[in-house]
Amino acid sequence: MRNGQDWLSSRTFHHSEFSDVPALVERKRERGLSISLCFPTLNEEATIAKEIVIVKSELQMRYPLVDEIVVIDSGSTDRTREVAAEYGAKVYLATDILPDIEPYKGKGENLWKALYVLEGDVIVYVDADIKNIHPRFVYGLVGPLLKNDDTRFVKAFYDRPIALDQKTVKPSGGGRVTELVTRPLFSSFYPELAQFIQPLSGEYAGFRECFDTIPFPIGYGVETSMLMDIYDRFGLEAMAQVDLDKRVHRNQSTVALGRMSFGIIQTFIAKLKASGKATMAGELYKTMIQFELEGGAYRRKESMIDIVERRPIVELPEYLAKFPARAGEA
């Protein structure tokens, strides 16, 4: 294996290296590949139309890089699904996919179920709350996969300015959970993965076999778990990262980030136990304890965060019936 610095220099790209979209289209044609784009959504009415329009106009109609655009929705209470359908995306309610399986709610559930309905050889996942959406969020991710035969998975990173309100944007910041939780954990147990600039980014792409052979936690830990499993299964040399410059999106409160951190830590520990890297004398508590100031007094608030993990979808008979070529991986 290459040493860390060698991987960082050879597997870290800038989206501008792949801005020749016609060349990517030709490379896709030469390799006989198809590309599916998935937006997992929950109440994204404000941004989903722009994301679909920009990708569809530039990367489907102008240049046929993306073969399908699919929205997998968690049960939005706004007009996310209606708007997405109006602008030409294929729209699915997550609970309608594989309906005979007990449903859960969470981003990881959407990503996992998307594998059943997406048709592409290459799968691209992009969050649906991006305010500065640009075609680079797609071609930047698929570029290394198309141009480098040994690259199987690509992760995005970017500057994340913090939107304080509708008019005020702090020029730099973000990635608080990454730097305070995920990177220290990776540095301790998976130092190679600490080289990913933003391991929790919601934008990544890979060949189908990268995703359908790994389990998916349904909640906050899905990105962390994904990196660990792809690394264990395919190795660091099959992975890469791409600088997409800047991503503007809504920001969460510190309290919400605390719950996210708790879910990531719970998932990380579960993965360590499963891999044999750590043992626990007892079961971990599943309740996040926080405090809120109300009327001059602190009130205890508890959030139950149970780690539920979907097994690799390639193990499902329903999936193999639809994708029989994947039967050898079950």
pTM of the model: 0.92
Cα distance between residue 321 and residue 52, in whole Å: 30
pLDDT in tens, 98-153: 999 999 999 999 999 999 999 999 999 999 999 999 999 999 999 999 999 999 99
Residue 163: predicted pLDDT: 55
Contact 155, 143 (CB under 8 A): no
Read off the pLDDT of each residue in 282-299 and give the average, rounded to a whole number. 88
CA distance 40 to 44: 9
Query: Using CA atoms, how far apart are residues 215 and 108, in angstroms rounded to an integer?
Result: 10
> Which one of 2-11, 25-34, 169-178, 265-274 scores highest in mean pLDDT?
25-34
When pLDDT is cut at 50, 70 and 90, the band that residue 252 belongs to is confident
**Is residue 9 domain-resident?**
yes
The residue segments making up the domain with residue 26 are 4-252+310-329
* 26: pLDDT strictly greater than 80: yes
Is residue 270 situated within a structural domain? no
Domain assignment present for 301: no
Q: Please give, one letter per residue, the 3-state secondary structure of 93-145.
A: EHHHCCCCCCCCCCHHHHHHHHHHHCCCCEEEECCCCCCCCCCHHHHHHHHHH
Q: Would 279 be classed as within a structural domain? A: no
pLDDT band of residue 172 (cuts 50, 70, 90) is very low
Tell me whether residue 128 is in a domain: yes
Q: Which residue type, as a one-letter code, is found at position 193?
A: L
Largest CA distance in the chain: 67
* 206 φ/ψ angles, rounded to the nearest 5 degrees: -170, 170
* Choice between 128 and 5, residue whose per-residue pLDDT is larger: 128
What total of structural domains would you count in the chain? 1
From 71, 75, 74, select the one nearest 83 (Cα to Cα).
71
Domain membership of residue 302 (yes or no) is: no
pLDDT for 27 beyond 60? yes
Pairing of strands 297-304, 68-73: unpaired
Residue 171 has pLDDT above 60, yes or no: no
295 occurs within a structural domain: no
98: left (phi over 0), alpha (psi -120 to 50) or beta: left
So what's the pLDDT on residue 274? 87
pLDDT in tens, 43-64: 999 999 999 999 999 999 999 9
Strand partners, 52: none
Confidence of residue 170 (pLDDT cuts 50, 70, 90): very low
pLDDT in tens, 228-241: 999 999 999 999 99
3-class secondary-structure state, position 180: helix
Tell me if 276 is assigned to some domain.
no
Identify whether the C-beta of residue 132 lies closer than 8 Å to the C-beta of residue 203.
Answer: no
Which residue is associated with the tokens 């309100």? 165
What's the rounded Cα separation, in Å, for the pair 236 and 117?
28
User: What CATH code is carried by the domain that includes residue 52?
Assistant: 3.90.550.10
